[in-house]
């Protein structure tokens, strides 16, 4: 696995006790929120006194339902705490709600869990303008290790995420750009892990939980917490159990991002950690036939250059990307910088790969665009990631992120993941592993849907849900002002200066 995974030296973070990678794991991709929530709910409900539930989140809505009335996430977690399950959570404190963030929701989720006997802290130990973007859950069961499981990916415990593969949207919708309708369709992926890798995810939680740095250095936040008696001190956790026994034949490497912080540096990553970036760069550099990406953004010249270099070095390499057709937020100050970032990234990829770069965006059966929130990359069916990280400088350097790279000698896991995602987008199974066949299926589906629209939607709608992505052309002036917002607000660089100068990670 050393050909694909980072070695301990390449990880370059001696302050963390994480293993370079673990073997003997089972991994099951859960496509879209409905499937993930359907696996999470019974697993939490069978936990009992003395079991341990750990979670992190970017946003948590207390009333988000996992499976109908009575399964609100706050209720499910509170019932677990009342049964004697040790429930511990870390959610990003977030910015103000009036800026379309999640401060109130995250506070309310924590209050409910604390009232039931659990503990949920709002964590603002981030770089200025950054966030804790990790979304994972770990369940440990003393005396019943066969039940130990972890979930890692892009799906938050919040409104808008409980969509199915039909993509009718979550009934508990989030507010997005009008083009996505009143119930925005939402595509996402979460990875279920069993085996020794579960211990590595738990160790990641424990590093953040035991960080002695104050949860926030903001004096207004600290005054608020004192006035409202908010819990700001993490109680001790029970001793970590031994890693679960092998549960499969997959190797898993945990990759993370933590930014460089001058004040309040992480004790487990005092110079930051950029193993997400390094892991991608190593694996993508080995690509020879096909890179498949699903990503919310696909931004950043520096990140795009990683894929562009692979395209230049491997003349038979193709890149297929599935991205959202429109930015998520309304308004030109939110929309234009996002379009600017993707325009620049795609220009770099097109210059390197030309007609070997294929970018698509999906819609549901009603023609409503599907917001692609998934963060997936599959390289030559040998290496595949599912996590919280986007293809952007923010995810590779600035916010906290967690992704799991999976490798197996047969390629069955990565191949199955790629095919299953394609089946959702295309409405057909692709049995041929040749990249040309895979690419042709996407292009034919997009062309067929385009013809159906051109013919006035006559006849049955084609089974495929993708159209070729065409980036809007921005004016010179829009590029100037949106480029500034893009670099400093939307996609900032969290590397120390010693790495920025040579363009290293």
- Three-state DSSP state, 467: strand
- In this structure, the strands spanning 290-294 and 376-379 are antiparallel
For residue 431, the model assigns a pLDDT of 83
Mean of pLDDT values over 71-86: 97
Task: Specify the range with the lowest mean pLDDT, choosing from 50-64, 219-233, 292-306, 441-455.
Answer: 219-233
Q: What does the block give as tokens for 448?
A: 């067929």
Q: Which domain holds residue 380?
A: 251-500
Q: Is the dihedral of CA 387, 148, 123, 209 positive or negative?
A: negative
* 8 belongs to a structural domain: no
Residue 222 lies in a domain: yes
Residue 361 has pLDDT above 80, yes or no: yes
d(CA 409, CA 422): 22
Q: Is the pLDDT of residue 156 over 90?
A: yes
What pLDDT score was predicted for residue 111?
A: 83
The per-residue pLDDT for 104 is 53
Give the pLDDT confidence score for residue 96 in this predicted structure: 46
Q: Is position 344 within any domain?
A: yes
Lowest-pLDDT range of 213-227, 256-270, 287-301: 213-227
Kindly report the number of other CB atoms within 10 A of residue 45's CB atom: 14
Q: Inform me whether the pLDDT recorded for 371 exceeds 90.
A: yes
In this predicted structure, the answer to whether residue 99 has a pLDDT above a threshold of 60 is no
- Print the SS3 string covering 29-80: EEECHHHHHHHHHHHHHCCCCCCEEEEEECCECCCCECCCCCCEHHHHHHHH
Same-domain check for residues 431 and 359: yes
For residue range 243-254, list pLDDT tens digits in order: 999 999 999 999
Do 225 and 279 belong together in one domain? no
Rounded (5°) CA angle 426-428-433 = 95
Mean per-residue pLDDT over the chain, rounded: 94
**303 and 369 inside one domain:** yes
Give 330-378 as a DSSP string. -SHHHHHHHHHHHHHHHHHHHHHHGGGEEEEEEB-TTSPBPEE---EEE
Share of the chain above pLDDT 90, in %: 88
Average pLDDT estimate for 159-181: 97
In this prediction, residue 105 carries a pLDDT of 52
> What is the reported pLDDT for 502?
92
Nearest to 43 by CA among 60, 24, 30, 59: 30
Q: Please count the structural domains in the chain.
A: 2
Does the predicted model carry a pTM greater than 0.85?
Answer: yes
* Residue 275 confidence (pLDDT): 98
- 97 — pLDDT class (breaks 50, 70, 90): very low
For residues 163 and 258, state if they share a domain.
Answer: no
Q: Please state the φ and ψ torsions of residue 371, each to the nearest 5 degrees.
A: -80, 115
Nearest alpha-carbon partner for 107 in 147, 43, 57: 57
Asked if residue 102 has pLDDT above 80, the reply is no
Write out pLDDT tens, residues 385-423.
Answer: 999 999 999 999 999 999 999 998 888 999 999 999 999
> What's the confidence (pLDDT) of residue 191?
98
* CA separation for the pair 327, 156 (Å, rounded): 19
Q: Is residue 205 part of a domain?
A: yes
Pairing of strands 371-372, 186-187: parallel
From 204, 235, 266, the end of a domain falls on 235
Please list, in sequence order, all residues whose beta carbon lies within 8 angstroms of the beta carbon of residue 278, skipping any fewer than 6 positions away. Answer: 6, 10, 11, 12, 255, 505
User: Are 157 and 277 members of one domain?
Assistant: no
Within this chain, do residues 256 and 231 fall inside the same structural domain, yes or no?
no
Question: Which of 210, 235, 260 is where one domain is finished?
Answer: 235
Question: What is the per-residue pLDDT across 179-189, written as a single tens digit (0 to 9) for each?
Answer: 999 999 999 99
Give a yes or no: residue 20 inside a domain.
Answer: no
Relative orientation angle of helices 275-285 and 301-313, to the nearest 10 degrees: 20
pLDDT recorded at residue 309: 98
What pLDDT digit, counting tens, does each position of 281-305 carry?
999 999 999 999 999 999 999 999 9
- Same domain, yes or no: 151 and 261: no
Same domain, 492 and 416: yes
- Whether 245 is covered by a domain: the verdict is no
Does residue 263 sit in the same domain as residue 221? no
Asked if residues 245 and 145 have their Cβ atoms less than 8 Å apart, the reply is yes
- Regarding whether 386 and 255 lie in a shared domain, the answer is yes
Nearest to 404 by CA among 211, 44, 134: 134
DSSP symbol at 487: I
Instruction: State mean pLDDT over 34-54.
Output: 98
CATH number of residue 428's parent domain? 3.30.870.10
**pLDDT score at 224:** 77
**Within-domain flag for 6:** no
Question: What average pLDDT does this structure show over 272-280?
Answer: 98
Looking at the structure, tell me whether residues 472 and 329 fall in a common domain. yes
Domain end point (choices 179, 211, 235): 235
* Residue 427 pLDDT > 70: yes
Same structural domain for residues 201 and 301? no
**Could you tell me if residue 21 is inside a domain?**
no
CA distance 101 to 329: 11
Residues paired with residue 172 on neighbouring β-strands, in sequence order: none
């Amino acid at each position: 696995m050393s050909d694909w995974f980072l070695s301990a030296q390449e990880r370059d973070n001696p302050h963390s006790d994480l293993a370079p990678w673990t073997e003997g794991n089972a991994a099951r991709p859960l496509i879209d929120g409905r499937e993930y929530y359907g696996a999470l709910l019974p697993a939490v409900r069978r936990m009992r006194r003395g079991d341990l539930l750990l979670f992190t989140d970017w946003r948590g809505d207390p009333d988000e339902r996992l499976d109908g009335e009575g399964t609100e996430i706050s209720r499910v977690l509170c019932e677990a705490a009342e049964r004697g399950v040790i429930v511990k959570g870390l959610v990003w404190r977030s910015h103000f709600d009036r800026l379309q963030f999640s401060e109130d929701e995250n506070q309310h989720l924590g209050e409910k869990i604390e009232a039931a006997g659990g503990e949920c802290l709002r964590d603002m130990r981030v770089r200025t303008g950054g966030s804790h973007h990790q979304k994972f859950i770990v369940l440990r069961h003393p005396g019943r290790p066969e039940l130990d499981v972890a979930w890692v990916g892009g799906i938050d415990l919040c409104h808008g995420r409980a969509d199915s593969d039909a993509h009718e949207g979550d009934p508990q919708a989030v507010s997005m750009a009008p083009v996505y309708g009143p119930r925005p369709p939402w595509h996402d992926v979460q990875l279920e892990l069993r085996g020794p890798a579960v211990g590595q995810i738990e160790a990641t939680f424990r590093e953040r939980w035991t960080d002695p740095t104050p949860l926030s250095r903001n004096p207004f936040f600290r005054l608020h917490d004192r006035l409202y008696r908010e819990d700001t001190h993490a109680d001790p956790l029970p001793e970590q159990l031994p890693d679960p026994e092998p549960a499969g034949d997959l190797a898993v490497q945990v990759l993370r991002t933590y930014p460089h912080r001058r004040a309040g540096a992480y004790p487990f990553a005092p110079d930051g950690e950029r193993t997400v970036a390094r892991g991608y760069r190593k694996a993508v550099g080995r690509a020879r036939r096909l890179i498949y990406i699903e990503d919310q953004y696909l931004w950043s010249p520096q990140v795009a250059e990683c894929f562009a270099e692979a395209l230049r070095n491997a003349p038979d390499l193709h890149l297929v990307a599935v991205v959202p057709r429109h930015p998520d937020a309304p308004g030109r100050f939110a929309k234009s910088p996002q379009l600017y970032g993707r325009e620049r990234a795609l220009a770099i990829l097109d210059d390197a790969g030309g007609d070997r770069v294929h970018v698509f965006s999906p819609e549901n059966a009603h023609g409503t665009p599907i917001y692609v929130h998934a963060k997936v990359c599959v390289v030559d069916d040998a290496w595949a990631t599912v996590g919280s990280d986007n293809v952007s400088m923010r995810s590779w350097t600035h916010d906290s992120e967690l992704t799991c790279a999976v490798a197996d000698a047969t390629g069955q896991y990565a191949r199955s993941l790629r095919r299953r995602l394609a089946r959702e987008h295309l409405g057909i199974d692709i049995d041929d592993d040749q990249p040309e066949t895979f690419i042709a299926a996407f292009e034919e589906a997009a062309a067929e849907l385009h013809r159906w629209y051109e013919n006035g939607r006559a006849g049955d709608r084609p089974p495929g849900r993708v159209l070729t992505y065409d980036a809007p052309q921005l004016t010179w002036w829009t590029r100037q002002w949106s480029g500034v917002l893009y670099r400093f607000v939307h996609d900032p660089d969290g590397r120390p200066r010693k790495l920025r100068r040579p363009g290293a990670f």
